[in-house]
């Protein structure tokens, strides 16, 4: 089946939304934790976290267009400058999904979904206790995008992970964590390690048939 841009633009809204959100493939599933300046914790699921650089270590993620009164995640990051990125294990898949609901500002998703939080090494934003990989972030820049979304760029300030799940090259075996990925807005996939190859160099590239 082939769909032109005109076909896509004329498609039913929900059908189009689901298609365009899934064509990029399976995306990382993360819970972003924040704390407001008055101490209220927030947690929300995101599928847009991307690697930007290793030296200095930076990650980015996309925030949807903010209303006149910004959402909790954006407001808390702007107020405190800090947030956490937490991998989602299979055991939290349903609870994590429902953090995407629009709750009143005074409702903490940690409490509403009964997700345990923890604080690590005096970092001011809350981590998800059950998450196998936890990343403490500090905002560097918020870049407006053409579709009115915002691209949040942050520096990696802290990483916590199981020591037994990293090899001598610094590679985490994500299959150890029963982690999940997202396709579209509400379809989840498990992660399985298939293979690992050496760093690709032109003179070491195999002859393929």
Predicted local distance difference test score (pLDDT) of residue 199: 85
Choose among 11, 32, 45: nearest CA to 188. 45
Cα separation, 186 vs 54, in Å, equals 30
Choose among 60, 75, 78, 86: nearest CA to 153. 60
Q: Is 165 exposed, middle or buried (0-12, 13-18, 19+ CB in 10 A)?
A: middle
**Tens digits of pLDDT across the chain (209 residues):** 999 999 999 999 989 988 998 888 899 999 999 999 999 999 999 999 999 999 999 999 999 988 777 789 999 999 999 999 999 999 999 999 999 999 998 999 999 999 999 999 999 999 999 999 999 999 999 999 999 999 999 999 999 999 998 998 899 988 888 889 999 888 999 988 888 888 899 998 999 98
Element (H or E) spanning 85, and its range? strand 82-87
Q: Per the structure block, which two tokens stand in for 55? A: 């030296």
Predicted local distance difference test score (pLDDT) of residue 71: 85
Predicted local distance difference test score (pLDDT) of residue 175: 85
Predicted local distance difference test score (pLDDT) of residue 74: 93
Instruction: At 186, give phi and psi (nearest 5°).
Output: -150, 25
Cα separation, 189 vs 180, in Å, equals 5
Torsion sign across C-alpha atoms 87, 90, 95, 99: positive
Predicted local distance difference test score (pLDDT) of residue 45: 96
Structural domain boundaries in the chain: 24-190
| Partners of 141 in beta bridges | 153
Q: Per the structure block, which two tokens stand in for 8? A: 């896509």
| Partners of 190 in beta bridges | 180
Cα separation, 194 vs 173, in Å, equals 11
CATH class of 24-190: mainly beta
Specify the pTM: 0.92
């Amino acid at each position: 089946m082939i769909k032109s841009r005109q076909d896509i633009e004329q498609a039913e809204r929900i059908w189009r939304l689901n298609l365009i959100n899934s064509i990029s493939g399976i995306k990382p599933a993360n819970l972003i934790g924040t704390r407001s300046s008055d101490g209220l914790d927030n947690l929300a699921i995101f599928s847009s976290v991307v690697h930007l650089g290793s030296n200095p270590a930076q990650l980015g993620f996309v925030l949807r267009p903010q209303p006149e009164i910004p959402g909790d995640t954006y407001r808390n990051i702007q107020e405190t400058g800090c947030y956490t990125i937490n991998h989602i294990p299979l055991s939290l898949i349903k609870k994590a999904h429902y953090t995407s609901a629009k709750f009143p500002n005074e409702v903490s998703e940690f409490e509403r979904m009964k997700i345990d939080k923890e604080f690590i090494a005096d970092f001011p934003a809350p981590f998800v206790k059950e998450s196998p990989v936890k990343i403490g972030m500090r905002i560097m820049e918020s870049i407006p995008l053409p579709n009115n979304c915002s691209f949040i760029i942050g520096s990696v300030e802290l990483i916590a992970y199981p020591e037994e799940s990293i090899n001598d090259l610094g590679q985490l075996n994500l299959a150890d964590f029963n982690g999940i990925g997202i396709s579209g807005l509400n379809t989840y996939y498990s992660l399985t390690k298939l293979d690992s190859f050496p760093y690709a160099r032109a003179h070491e590239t195999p002859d393929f048939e």
